[in-house]
Structure 1
Amino acid sequence: MIIYNVTVNIDDSAHDEWLTWIKDHIPQVLATGKFIEAKLTKVLVKEEMGGQTYSIQYRAHNKEALAKYYKEDAERLRQDGLKRFADKMLAFRTELEIVDEYTVNFN
């Protein structure tokens, strides 16, 4: 399984609008059929540059599904965010491969 992680630092002046936007954007990304789930998380470490930082983690079945997303959907889906928040956000993307997963069973 592959995690496509998008880390975003959003300026405080655009935070509320961005948070509303991203909560609408994530279902659009999932609607491409390339991912099976997504998590929106807030990074709790304060950045020197200010603003607030979030991580959006999309799970894909494999690298092929992610490659297909890049080829068919990524550019189109990024454009709206770039137009709205270009000078208010900084984003970087990371691809992660799940090696193993562990859970705790309290039963």
Structure 2
Amino acid sequence: MLLYNVTLIIEDASAAAWLQWMQEEHIPEVMATGLFVSNRLLKVVDSPNEGVTYCAQYVVQSIEDYDAYQLTYANALAAELNSRFKDKFVSFTTVMEYIA
């Protein structure tokens, strides 16, 4: 199993709208792809960055499922984020393998 982590730092003024959008629209759309087995959304409490830092985490069974997500869905879902919150955030992704 793998953990797909998206860390996003969003400006304070947009944080509430982004959080609502994530919970009501984006995360349900990601999960509706059927490629992830679970998810969680975390807020970093001791971030040294300006703005608010969140981590959206999605558990995927295999690298093949992750690759299928990236190939089929990721660009459209990222485009929606960029359209709604253009120039209000920075983000990066990480894929991690479960060891224990």
- TM-score in terms of structure 2 length: 0.95
Q: CA deviation at 1:86?
A: 2.0
**Residue 61 of structure 1 aligns with which residue?**
61
Q: Determine if the alignment matches structure 1 residue 21 to structure 2 residue 18.
A: no
**Structure 1 segment 1-107 matched on structure 2, within 5 A:** 1-23=1-23, 24-48=25-49, 50-100=50-100
- TM-score in terms of structure 1 length: 0.89
Structure with more of its chain in strand, by fraction:
2
| Higher alpha-carbon Rg | 1
1:6 counterpart SS class: strand
Unaligned 5+ segments in structure 1 are: 101-107
Q: Which runs of 4+ in 1 moved over 4 A?
A: none
Q: CA deviation at 1:44?
A: 1.1
- Counterpart residue identity of residue 74, structure 2: A
- Counterpart residue identity of residue 53, structure 1: T
Q: CA deviation at 1:47?
A: 2.4
1:35-78 alpha-carbon deviations (Å, 9 max, x no partner): 01100000111323x10000011000010000000000000111
